[in-house]
Amino acid sequence: MFSTDRRSFIKLTGGLAAASALTGFPSIARAAGARVVIVGGGPGGATCARYLRRHDPSLDVTLIEANKEYHTCFMSNEVIGGHRTMAQITVGYDKLAKEGIKVVNDWVVGIDGAAKKVTTKGGQTFGYDRCVVAPGIDFNYGGLEGFSESAIEAMPHAWKAGPQTALLRKQLEAMPDGGVFVMVAPAMPYRCPPGPYERASLVAEYFKNHKPKSKVIILDPKDAFSKQGLFIQAWKKLYGFETDKALIEWVPAAKGGKVTKIDVAGMVVETDFDKVKGAVVNVIPPQKAGKIAFEAGLAEGAWCPVNKQTFESKKVAGVHVLGDASDAATMPKSGYSANSQAKVCARNIVALLKGQLPATPSYINTCYSLASKDHAFSVAGVYNFDSNENKIVEVKGSGGVSPMDASAEDRKREVAYAYSWYDNIVHDSWG
């Protein structure tokens, strides 16, 4: 299915991971009992906690997460499209606790880099030798005129999985046949680049099966998007794209897709050329690092600058920032990127705590997108670290993209691969 076949890709990534785990780690006495506090229990934070303990069981690892359960953003579009339940994208932290990780359910309200301590809303204080911050994303609600945080109850973003996911699904179920689902896509960079177009696909599939007079309109501030050729091919095959009976209409920036104003009360979205009224309006706002990153002084602009070899903050020594909140381009902001970065971060924290030089890492990312219950495609890549420029660069010829000429059987097989990938990353991250 790829320019590099799957078996070779697995061998390549496995070899790179093994090499990065072994390089530069001379055998010296460990700093037994060192304390690592992790803020955020998503795929970045949870994976980092597990791999810290795996590399050095003597570490005192504390994971602080506000919620007792985590809803995965990956596969949450299947809930919106009606293929999964909320329970099927929900994970807990019991398995992490059984591995010797201290799990604390509380809100982090302060990170003091000088004193090396983390404080919580509940009044707890945790000292650390190293701190990992994996706060995910927050939204720039002011980036769209007329929109605000309070508007998400009428126009849900569902870009943080959980109650917003369930709300958007309920709105679709209640929508009359013949209504319009309007999506306001975000400008780059944002979490999960192909995610809006996967969502549009699965909503269109729901309409095709249950509300065939309805349609999806995507208003986009971009003129191109991730896996565009594969999505458009699927839309033409499945949803009549670019015909008078199309279930999906994509309006790029060049054709007036950039939104200028939102009328929440009237359920109307304005562009320079048009006003579009929706029965359901899905506004995905511009994004930035999670709130605690700004409060802790870790952010610069929208994201957190880091040393991409160790993910240590360039703003606050001894604090590492993982996942969507970091400026880890060219890797996309995705769950699998966060998982891969967390493993690199964990291994190099262990090295730093032992007084060793950090390893030169490799990273991987795989992203599956579903266009229907029987039609999926994917992209995969391997990345190396360029120490001269502090950049993560993709290895030329690594991974690949699903081919345009794949058969229907191949597309259906990719759905099975996607489901298997989901089960594996959940197990790898949360146990």
Q: Which of 223, 257, 283 is the last residue of a domain?
A: 283
Confidence grade of residue 32 (pLDDT, cut at 50, 70, 90): low
State the pLDDT at residue 327: 96
For residues 399 and 379, the answer to whether their CB atoms sit within 8 Å is yes
Do 16 and 72 sit in the same domain of this protein? yes
State the pLDDT at residue 11: 38
Do 89 and 178 sit in the same domain of this protein? no
Domain encompassing residue 230:
151-283
State the Cα–Cα distance between residues 376 and 354, nearest whole angstrom.
44
State the pLDDT at residue 329: 86
Residues 6+ apart with CB under 8 A from 331: 337, 340, 341, 363, 365, 383, 392
| Average pLDDT along the chain | 93
Where residue 336 sits, what CATH number does that domain have? 3.50.50.60
Residue 144: inside a domain, yes or no?
Answer: no
Do 216 and 180 sit in the same domain of this protein? yes
Residue 50: inside a domain, yes or no?
Answer: yes
Do 230 and 275 sit in the same domain of this protein? yes
Per-residue pLDDT for 413 more than 90? yes
Do 206 and 221 sit in the same domain of this protein? yes
Q: Which of 240, 257, 283 is the last residue of a domain?
A: 283
- The mean-pLDDT minimum among 79-83, 134-138, 396-400 falls in 396-400
Residue 146: inside a domain, yes or no?
Answer: no
Q: Work out the average pLDDT over 348-371.
A: 97
The distance from CA 116 to its chain's CA centroid, rounded to whole angstroms, is 28
Residue 145: inside a domain, yes or no?
Answer: no
Do 61 and 171 sit in the same domain of this protein? no
Residue 364 to residues 340, 367, 399, 417, Cα–Cα distance (Å) = 6, 10, 9, 17
Do 204 and 308 sit in the same domain of this protein? no
Helical packing angle, 195-210 and 228-239, nearest 10°: 0
Can you list the pairs that 52-56 forms with residues at least 24 positions away whose Cβ atoms lie under 8 Å? 52/346, 52/349, 52/350, 53/99, 53/100, 53/101, 54/346, 55/346, 55/347, 55/350, 56/30, 56/350, 56/353
Per-residue pLDDT for 216 more than 50? yes
Per-residue pLDDT for 18 more than 90? no
Per-residue pLDDT for 253 more than 50? yes
Do 178 and 303 sit in the same domain of this protein? no
Residue 18: inside a domain, yes or no?
Answer: yes
Name 63's bridge partners: 38, 103
Do 164 and 264 sit in the same domain of this protein? yes
For residues 238 and 208, the answer to whether their CB atoms sit within 8 Å is yes
At 279-337, the pLDDT tens digits run 999 999 999 999 999 999 999 999 999 999 999 999 999 999 999 999 998 899 999 99
Do 92 and 41 sit in the same domain of this protein? yes
Per-residue pLDDT for 412 more than 70? yes
Residue 1: inside a domain, yes or no?
Answer: no
Q: How many domains does the chain have?
A: 2
Helix (H, G, I), strand (E, B) or coil at 409: helix
- The mean-pLDDT minimum among 6-15, 148-157, 283-292, 374-383 falls in 6-15
Neighbours of 153 (CB within 10 A): 11
State the Cα–Cα distance between residues 270 and 184, nearest whole angstrom.
10
Residue 108: inside a domain, yes or no?
Answer: yes
Per-residue pLDDT for 4 more than 80? no
Query: Hunting for tokens 């919580």 — which residue is that?
Result: 120
State the pLDDT at residue 312: 98
Q: Which of 255, 283, 311 is the last residue of a domain?
A: 283
Q: Work out the average pLDDT over 85-92.
A: 98
At 147-190, the pLDDT tens digits run 999 999 999 999 999 999 999 999 999 999 999 999 999 999 99
Per-residue pLDDT for 26 more than 50? no
Confidence grade of residue 16 (pLDDT, cut at 50, 70, 90): very low
Do 26 and 133 sit in the same domain of this protein? yes
Helix (H, G, I), strand (E, B) or coil at 277: strand
State the Cα–Cα distance between residues 311 and 358, nearest whole angstrom.
11
- Angle value at C-alpha 332, between 105 and 94, nearest 5 degrees: 25
Do 95 and 112 sit in the same domain of this protein? yes
Per-residue pLDDT for 12 more than 60? no
Q: What is the DSSP letter of 87?
A: G
Residue 40: inside a domain, yes or no?
Answer: yes
- The tokens of 387 are what? 């120490």
